[in-house]
A and B are shown apart, each in its own frame.
Chain A
Amino acid sequence: QVQLVESGGGVVQPGRSLRLSCAASGFTFSSFGLHWVRQAPGKGLEWVAIISYDGSNKYYADSVKGRFTISRDNSKNTLYLQMNSLRPEDTAVYYCAKGPVAAAGTGWFDPWGQGTLVTVSS
Chain B
Amino acid sequence: DIQMTQSPSSVSASVGDRVTITCRASQGISSWLAWYQQKPGKAPKLLIYVASSLQSGVPSRFSGSGSGTDFTLTISSLQPEDFATYYCQQANSFPLTFGGGTKVEIK
* Residues of A near any B CB (own CB < 8 A): 35, 44-47, 50, 59, 61-62, 95, 100, 106-115
Asked if B66 lies at the interface with its beta carbon under 8 angstroms from chain A, I say no
In the complex, what residue of chain A is closest to B53 when comparing beta carbons? Answer: A108
Interface size on B, residues (CB 8 A): 23
In the complex, what residue of chain B is closest to A61 when comparing beta carbons? Answer: B95
Cβ of A35: which chain B residues have Cβ within 8 Å of it? 96
The distance in angstroms between the C-alpha atoms of A18 and B44, with both chains bound, is: 24
- 8 new A-B contacts, CB < 8 A, other than A110-B46, A114-B43, are A44-B100, A45-B36, A47-B97, A47-B98, A59-B95, A61-B95, A107-B91, A112-B43
The distance in angstroms between the C-alpha atoms of A4 and B42, with both chains bound, is: 13
How many A-B contacts are there with CB distance less than 8 Å? 56
The distance in angstroms between the C-alpha atoms of A35 and B97, with both chains bound, is: 13
What 10 A-B pairs are tightest by C-beta distance, nearest first? Answer: A108-B34, A112-B43, A110-B46, A47-B96, A45-B98, A108-B49, A106-B91, A61-B95, A59-B94, A44-B101
Once the chains bind, are A115 and B95 in contact (CB under 8 Å)? no
The distance in angstroms between the C-alpha atoms of A62 and B97, with both chains bound, is: 12
The distance in angstroms between the C-alpha atoms of A110 and B89, with both chains bound, is: 13
Once the chains bind, are A112 and B45 in contact (CB under 8 Å)? yes
Asked if B55 lies at the interface with its beta carbon under 8 angstroms from chain A, I say yes
The distance in angstroms between the C-alpha atoms of A111 and B94, with both chains bound, is: 20
| Given A106-B92, A106-B93, A108-B89, also A46-B46 (CB < 8 A) | no
Cβ of A59: which chain B residues have Cβ within 8 Å of it? 94-95
